[in-house]
Amino acid sequence: MLTKSHAHVSFDDAIKDIPFEDLGKKPNGVPYSIWQQVEHIRIAQKDILDFSVNKNYRELNWPADYWGERSCTNR
């Protein structure tokens, strides 16, 4: 079920109608831009993988390391 998009929309379908120039903008009432949310997911997935395979794993600092300053800001 998870591999055939029955339980979720694919990433490509979720963003297909969003203009590129809007990816760094924060929608009204939302604290993060789409770009920041995607970056957060990438960091979290990398952290999960690191936790799973690295015997010397060191946890990230919440929330700073998951919502870092490197993310786009509202323009």
* Residue 23 resides in a domain: no
Pick the residue with more confidence: 47 or 38? 47
According to the model, what pLDDT value does residue 53 have?
98
- pLDDT tens profile 58-67: 999 998 899 8
Q: Under DSSP, is residue 23 helix (H, G, I), strand (E, B) or coil?
A: coil
For the chain, the domain total comes to 1
Calculate the average pLDDT of the chain: 84
Per the structure, the complete domain to which residue 49 belongs is given by: 31-75
Give the type of residue at 40: H
According to the model, what pLDDT value does residue 12 have?
85
* Residue 6 resides in a domain: no
pTM of the entire predicted model? 0.70
* Residue 19 resides in a domain: no
According to the model, what pLDDT value does residue 69 have?
59
Instruction: Tell me the C-alpha to C-alpha distance, in Å, between residue 33 and each of 4, 5, 36, 52, 54.
Output: 27, 24, 5, 29, 31
* Residue 67 resides in a domain: yes
